[in-house]
Amino acid sequence: MTPEHVVYLIVFVLWLSAVIHAARSFVDGLKFNRFVRDAIRNAPSAGGDPGAAPRVAVVMPCKGVDEKLHDTVMRLSKQTLIPARVIFTLESRDDSAWSALQSWTSDLDQLTCEFVEAGLAEHRGQKIHNLLAAVKRVGDDIDIIVFLDSDAVPGDDWLTHLIAPLSNEDVGAATGYRWYTASGSLAAGVRSAWNAATASLLADERLNFCWGGSMAIRRDRFESLNVGRYWQRALSDDYQLTRAVRDAGLRIRFVPQAIVASDDATTLRGFWEFARRQMIITRICHPALWRSSFLLIMNLTAGGLASFVLMIGGFAGFFGSKRVAWLGLAGWLSITCLAAARAAARQLALRRLLKPPALTWRDFLWDVGSTLSFGGGLHLNLFISSIGRRRFWWRDTRYEMIAPDETRILKRR
């Protein structure tokens, strides 16, 4: 076998592995589309007897006046199922959000609001510290605890849909997810393309997880699963809740209608810091998801790059022939088109859920276009940058994640 044949064999093996993964990825996109369609078809009615509805406490951790904080609060007052209680939990009364929230909620007679001053965290993430302080204020009159991020602006039926799966005894928690819109800036488009890849994974209960910005659990189950113990020294509220539910042998149900759109401003540097932090947290807290995603990106990138190099080399006359170059082009197209088809299936599914301006043609172009261009490199670099790292800034605090349930606070700004 000549060296040239060895090169062809290596390229073929890389291409075959990539096209198999790309085909599986495309099938996952079709499954996600079907999952969303069935979820909408079988969705509970937003009406019904209000007296028969469970009593819900919405817990919202806040830090500063986020760009969308006011919109989030107003949306809570317009829910088809009004929460029995809304608990805003902050590190300190000196936080600018404290007075802003009290001002905004003073005229909202339909909402019963409470404010919790959690104090400064010492051995865990500040967000978890705030959540634990708020949960202590949830009484026995509450049936379900819902956690909502301060910058997650929900739809009017969000709460009704999110809590619906909890009527099944084998469901431990229900979750939505965040959809970052491609609002026009370069950084927003890149963020939207990066975030989109995770959305379709949530339909697979083997790999899905709770997302802290929109998740729900029954109060008695929160206590019986001893979630407070899982959170005691942790940083990630959602992954630790996921772990508690999994350890109990219960299911996590993804609710597509509980997806919340976010179009807050970002920069390329801000996106990179945020995305790398999420990758580090995922590697430490959900290694199975991190490994499977890394393997997928590695295979797609290696196979696509090898086919592309073969095509360029053949057409440029560096090696092989024009026939080899055309084969390289066919190999590259087979991988990228399957990946783009998955993105298109995902976008079609989301169009069943979100309307403009939450979802526009820009989202489609960034999602599909990134798979044909920079998407593989972006994901691969983020995966590589998360290897071996345990320290990062979050808000104004620098943390070190020793383990999923062990956090060290290193510095505060």
Q: Does residue 123 sit in helix, strand or coil?
A: coil
Q: What is the mean pLDDT of residues 222-235?
A: 97
Residue 105 is predicted with a pLDDT of: 95
Range(s) of the domain holding residue 203: 43-265
Q: What is the mean pLDDT of residues 147-176?
A: 95
pLDDT tens, residue by residue, 56-106: 999 999 999 988 899 999 999 999 999 999 999 999 999 999 999 999 999
Range in 83-87, 168-172, 291-295 with the lowest mean pLDDT: 291-295
**pLDDT confidence of residue 43:** 82
DSSP labels for 162-187?
Answer: HHGGGGSTTEEEEE--EEE---SSHH
What mean pLDDT do residues 159-183 have? Answer: 95
Confidence of residue 51 (pLDDT cuts 50, 70, 90): low
User: Rounded to an integer, what distance in angstroms lies between the CA atom of residue 364 and that of residue 98?
Assistant: 38
Q: How far apart are CA 71 and CA 65, in angstroms?
A: 11
In a domain, 378, yes or no: yes
**Quick one: three-class SS letters along 349-392?**
HHCCCCCCCCCCHHHHHHHHHHHCCCHHHHHHHHHHHHCCCCEE
Same domain, 72 and 182: yes
Q: Do both 10 and 101 map to the same domain?
A: no
Q: 411 lies in a domain? A: no
One domain for residues 248 and 308: no
Residues 76 and 187 in one domain: yes
In the predicted structure, residue 365 carries a pLDDT above the cut 90:
yes
Which residue carries 């526009």 as its tokens? 360
Average pLDDT, the chain: 92
User: Residue 359: what residue type?
Assistant: L
Q: 256: how many CB neighbours lie within 10 A of its CB?
A: 24
Rounded-to-integer distance, Cα 43 and Cα 160, Å: 10
For residues 94 and 200, membership in a common domain is answered with yes
Task: Decide: 182 and 363 in contact? Cβ < 8 Å.
Answer: yes
